[in-house]
Structure 1
Amino acid sequence: MSLDVGDKAPSFNLPADGGGKISLKDLKGKTVVLYFYPKDDTSGCTAEACAFRDQLPDFSKVKAAVVGISRDSVASHDKFKKKFGLTFPLVSDEDGKVCEAYGTWVEKSMYGRKYMGVDRSTFLIDEKGVIRGIWRKVKVPGHAEELLRAAAALN
Structure 2
Amino acid sequence: MPEHPQVPATPLTSTAGGTVDLSAERGTSVVFLYPRTSPPGGPSAAWQALPGARGCTAESCGFRDLAHDFTQLGARIFGVSTQDPQYQLEASTRLHLSYPLLSDTNRALAGPLRLETFDFEGAELYRRATLIIKDGTLVHRFEEIPDPAAHPQDVLSWLQR
- TM-score scaled by length of structure 1: 0.82
Q: What amino acid is aligned across from residue 11 of structure 1 in structure 2?
A: A
Unaligned runs of 5+ residues in structure 1 are none
Q: What amino acid is aligned across from residue 10 of structure 2 in structure 1?
A: F
Instruction: Give the alignment of 1:1-155 within 5 angstroms.
Output: 3=1, 5-28=3-26, 30-41=27-38, 43-107=54-118, 116-126=124-134, 128-139=135-146, 140-153=148-161
Q: Deviations over 1:22-73 (max 9, x none)?
A: 1124421x21111110012255110010000001000000000110111101
Q: Deviations over 1:103-148 (max 9, x none)?
A: 224346x9xx9x843110111112x322221111422132111111
Number of residue pairs matched by the alignment: 146
- Contact 2:30–2:131 under 8 Å retained in 1: yes
Unaligned runs of 5+ residues in structure 2 are 44-53
Shift, 1:80, TM fit: 0.2
What RMSD, in angstroms, separates the aligned Cα atoms of the two structures? 2.4
Structure that is richer in helix per residue: 1
Q: What amino acid is aligned across from residue 142 of structure 1 in structure 2?
A: A
- Contact 1:16–1:74 under 8 Å retained in 2: yes
Q: What amino acid is aligned across from residue 88 of structure 1 in structure 2?
A: Y
Where 1:124 maps in the other structure, the secondary structure is strand
Shift, 1:150, TM fit: 1.9
- Contact 1:104–1:120 under 8 Å retained in 2: no
**1-side partners of 2:100 and 2:157: how far apart?**
21
- TM-score scaled by length of structure 2: 0.79
**2-side partners of 1:33 and 1:59: how far apart?**
9
**1-side partners of 2:76 and 2:16: how far apart?**
17
- Contact 1:38–1:70 under 8 Å retained in 2: yes
